[in-house]
Amino acid sequence: MSQALEGIAGMISDERPRVWRYSISAGPIRSKFLLHLRDEQKIMGTKCPTCGRVYVPARSTCLKCFENMEEWIEVGDEGILTAYTIANAKSPVAGADSVFGFGIIKLDGADTGLTHRLGEVDPEKLRIGVRMKAVFNDELKGDIRDIKHFEPV
């Protein structure tokens, strides 16, 4: 036994570890954002009463002014691609069977970008500044994946 491990034998246990179950909540603001996606297929943001910034996804506090935001604003389902990356590997987590991408889309009427999966894109033709449009899934469940992906307009 190495000197680094001396004296720790008493710390090793044969007991089965406890498994804790956690429940994660989107909270009241994100829940309302997700319900608008599911029930109305609308993308909503919250607007700061002081500086006027519109945040998508919606949040409760302005990052610039630290003001509470209670005004809800519908933004467009189209916007400008501001950043992206292409993955050349399959990803069951991302729901992709082949090449896929993720991008940050600044939606019309929003001041912040929404990160989401890109679909129906040719990686060779994709560029910053391309207009993108949200494509909704047929079956809506109340989570961010209700937007299937964004694709070029």
Question: Could you tell me if 30 and 58 are in contact, meaning their C-beta atoms sit under 8 angstroms apart?
Answer: yes
pLDDT tens digits, 97-112: 666 799 999 999 999 9
pLDDT at 8 over 90: no
Please list, in sequence order, all residues whose beta carbon lies within 8 angstroms of the beta carbon of residue 91, skipping any fewer than 6 positions away. 100
pLDDT tens digits, 63-93: 999 999 999 999 999 999 999 999 877 766 6
pLDDT at 123 over 90: no
pLDDT of res. 129: 97
Instruction: Report the chain's mean pLDDT, rounded to a whole number.
Output: 88
pLDDT at 26 over 90: no
Question: Could you tell me if 62 and 48 are in contact, meaning their C-beta atoms sit under 8 angstroms apart?
Answer: yes
Residue 18 tokens read as 């406890």
Helices (H), the chain: 27-40
